[in-house]
């Protein structure tokens, strides 16, 4: 992941201002430690901190068109850049960078080219011919981007808040799937899929189509010229990412920096659920597995640094970011610069445990739509900034545009959790990869129930955080929290503690407004309470709030049922047969 900073319309164009721009861009160097670049044009500045993943030798930024009248600074990866180059044969490319296509696409198609990009990206482009500029962010908001305004009338864009928070009077999180054009002076949505309207789809579930879409999403993200691996927690999502990647490396004879054996990484307290599960999956897939341990105290000691980097005070995000932050440092020490991760599956497929309470398919679907729209404030923010803090790039195949469109077009009747039919959460995904002839994963792993990441690294991690916060925040402090923090008032001592750290680094009202508001209730959503009032009694967003839903017995029963079917040839069902049976039941 790279770091970008762009400023337009600066009243001050002195050497001192240039030095200030370089200083602010330097705050993003953790995102791109490999090279720095700055382009100045009159009162406009485009700065870049590069993490070299594709074409490390010649892809330094900013990037240009042929006569350098179009300048672009990009954070991200364009997975279909080779196909796009075929559309641009009349253009001369100076580098092998996947991001250079953006400058030439703009020349060829104007501002309407963004939807042609398949990847994760935030970019700012300056057209010096008329001094117009555009900024855009990818469909889901996998890469971060902020937009700000200075008192001198200048407009700012930056990968992280820390690069503009001191110099801008107001700033916002740039909305995903949007483009800003200086010609119109406003934001408009460029990403307009069917699911965004939240209307219930009716496409029949085809497991083979879903499987193929996910495999394609994984393999296209193996575009790299540097060592890479997979973050493996042992849960369904990361295990499928690792399985598909491992299978691709074995079947394609692909030659990468670390050879054909896949490297996997896991973090946790000693004896944690994730470590045990990840080791089992790694042994099954025969990966080169790296297991990292941390202590509760080491995590607590890192909290200030974590909050500085992830730029939030959301409780669940900080709990999960800290182990990921510590793991990324270890991964970086091995020389790895890119990892694949499993974020997004729970939002798309309704994998959170409170989805058990969804009253009907319409509300189930609408909630998945809302969760995807908020990903840039939670899991995308965590995954990107926790890894980028150490110059590691996280790629997320579940958030592939094509995969999302296919998964979100499925009639949500198939996604509903129905234990009587043997359908636990994310059944459509588990079933799609339930291949008896050539198993992707063992049955009990494929049907293992969800463990929230912050719980999975060790239950004593969350307990330790709460205990530490209780020592830092008095009862009187929490009682008066609404006076100290009238906006997004913290309701627990842990939330109060994180807020105090955040305010130390980012004291402006604009900063605190970039964090999603409202009480931090079970599963971080009021929808859980609406579906079942009992959830309102627990203010802790941990997965353990799902009393009566998250049970080992339930998980074991589902796995045993799958194994029994596997051992009885006369009752064995193919993927197609299972779908046919389910369709009959639904009808």
Residue-wise pLDDT tens digits, 461-498: 999 999 999 999 999 999 999 999 999 999 999 999 99
Higher pLDDT, 563 or 542: 542
Share of the chain above pLDDT 90, in %: 80
Domain segments of the chain as ranges: 3-192, 196-545
pLDDT for 527:
77
Between 24-38, 251-265, 454-468, the lowest mean confidence (pLDDT) is in 251-265
What the block records as the tokens of 248 is 């691709």
In this prediction, residue 59 has a pLDDT band, given cuts at 50, 70 and 90, of confident
What the block records as the tokens of 193 is 């899929």
Is the model's pLDDT at 3 over the cut of 50?
A: yes
- Could you give the angle at the alpha carbon of 565 between the alpha carbons of 563 and 567, nearest 5°? 70
Q: Could you tell me which CATH class the domain 3-192 is placed in?
A: alpha beta
Structure confidence by residue, pLDDT tens digits, 256-272: 556 678 999 999 999 89
What the block records as the tokens of 426 is 């994310």
Q: Indicate if 2 belongs to the active site.
A: yes
Pick the CATH number of 196-545 from 1.10.150.20, 3.10.129.10, 3.40.50.970, 3.40.50.620: 3.40.50.620
Is the model's pLDDT at 341 over the cut of 70?
A: yes
Structure confidence by residue, pLDDT tens digits, 389-422: 999 999 999 999 999 999 999 999 999 999 989 8
Q: Edge-to-edge strands of the sheet including 338-340? A: 288-293, 263-268, 228-231, 338-340, 393-395
Distance CA(171)–CA(164), nearest Å, equals 8
Distance CA(454)–CA(540), nearest Å, equals 12
Between 56-60, 229-233, 404-408, the lowest mean confidence (pLDDT) is in 56-60
Is the model's pLDDT at 452 over the cut of 90?
A: no
pTM for the full model? 0.90
Q: Provide the terminal-to-terminal Cα distance of the chain, rounded to the nearest Å.
A: 47
Query: What ranges in 395-473 are assigned the alpha helix state H?
Result: 401-408, 427-432, 443-446, 453-456, 459-472
Distance CA(381)–CA(316), nearest Å, equals 12
In this prediction, residue 583 has a pLDDT band, given cuts at 50, 70 and 90, of very low
């Amino acid at each position: 992941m790279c770091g970008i900073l762009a400023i337009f319309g600066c009243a001050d164009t002195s050497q001192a201002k240039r030095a200030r721009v370089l200083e602010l861009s330097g705050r993003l160097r953790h995102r791109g430690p490999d090279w720095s670049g700055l382009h100045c044009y009159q009162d406009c500045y485009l700065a870049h901190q590069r993490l070299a993943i594709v074409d490390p030798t010649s892809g330094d930024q900013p990037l240009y068109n042929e006569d350098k009248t179009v300048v672009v600074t990009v954070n991200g990866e364009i997975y279909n850049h080779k196909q796009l180059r075929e559309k641009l044969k009349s253009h001369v490319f100076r580098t092998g960078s996947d991001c250079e296509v953006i400058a030439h696409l703009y020349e060829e198609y104007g501002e309407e080219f963004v939807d042609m990009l398949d990847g994760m990206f935030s970019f700012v482009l300056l057209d010096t011919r008329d001094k117009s500029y555009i900024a855009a962010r990818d469909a889901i908001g996998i890469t971060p981007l902020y937009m700000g305004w200075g008192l001198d009338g200048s407009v700012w864009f930056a990968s992280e808040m820390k690069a503009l928070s001191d110099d801008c009077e107001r700033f916002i999180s740039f909305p995903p799937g949007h483009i800003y054009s200086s010609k119109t002076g406003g934001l408009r949505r460029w990403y307009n899929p069917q699911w965004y309207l939240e209307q219930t789809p009716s496409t029949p579930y085809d497991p083979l189509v879903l499987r193929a879409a996910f495999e394609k999403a994984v393999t296209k993200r193996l575009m790299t010229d540097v060592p890479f691996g997979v973050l493996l927690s042992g849960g369904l999502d990361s295990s499928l990412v690792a399985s598909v990647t491992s299978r691709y490396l074995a079947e394609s004879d692909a030659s990468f920096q670390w050879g054909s054996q896949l490297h996997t990484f896991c973090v946790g307290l000693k004896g944690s659920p994730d470590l045990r599960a990840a080791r089992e999956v790694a042994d099954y897939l025969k990966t080169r597995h790296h297991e990292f341990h941390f202590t509760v105290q080491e995590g607590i000691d890192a909290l200030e640094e974590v909050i500085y980097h992830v730029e939030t005070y959301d409780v669940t995000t900080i709990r999960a970011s800290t182990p990921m932050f510590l793991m990324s440092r270890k991964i970086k020490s091995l020389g790895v610069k890119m990892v694949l991760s499993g974020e997004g599956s729970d939002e798309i497929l309704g994998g959170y445990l409170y989805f058990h309470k969804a009253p009907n398919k319409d509300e189930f679907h609408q909630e998945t739509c809302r969760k995807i729209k908020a990903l840039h404030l939670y899991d995308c923010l965590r995954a990107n900034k926790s890894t980028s803090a150490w110059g590691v790039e996280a790629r997320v195949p579940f958030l592939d545009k094509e995969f999302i469109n296919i998964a979100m077009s499925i009639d949500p009747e198939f996604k509903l959790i129905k234990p009587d039919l043997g359908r636990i959460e994310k059944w459509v995904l588990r079933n799609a990869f339930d291949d008896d002839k050539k198993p992707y994963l063992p049955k009990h792993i494929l049907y293992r129930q969800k463990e929230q990441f912050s719980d999975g690294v060790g239950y004593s991690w969350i307990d330790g955080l709460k205990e530490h916060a209780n020592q830092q925040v008095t009862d009187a402090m929490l009682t008066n929290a609404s006076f100290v923090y009238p906006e997004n008032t913290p309701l627990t001592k842990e939330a109060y503690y994180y807020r105090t750290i955040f305010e130390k680094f980012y004291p402006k009202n604009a900063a605190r407004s970039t964090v999603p508001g409202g009480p931090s209730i079970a599963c971080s959503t009021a929808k859980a309470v609406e579906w079942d009032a009992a959830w309102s009694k627990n203010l802790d967003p941990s997965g353990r709030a799902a009393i009566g839903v998250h049970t080992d017995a339930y998980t074991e029963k589902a796995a045993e049922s799958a194994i029994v079917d596997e051992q009885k040839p006369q009752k064995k069902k193919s993927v197609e047969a299972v779908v046919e049976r389910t369709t009959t039941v639904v009808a």
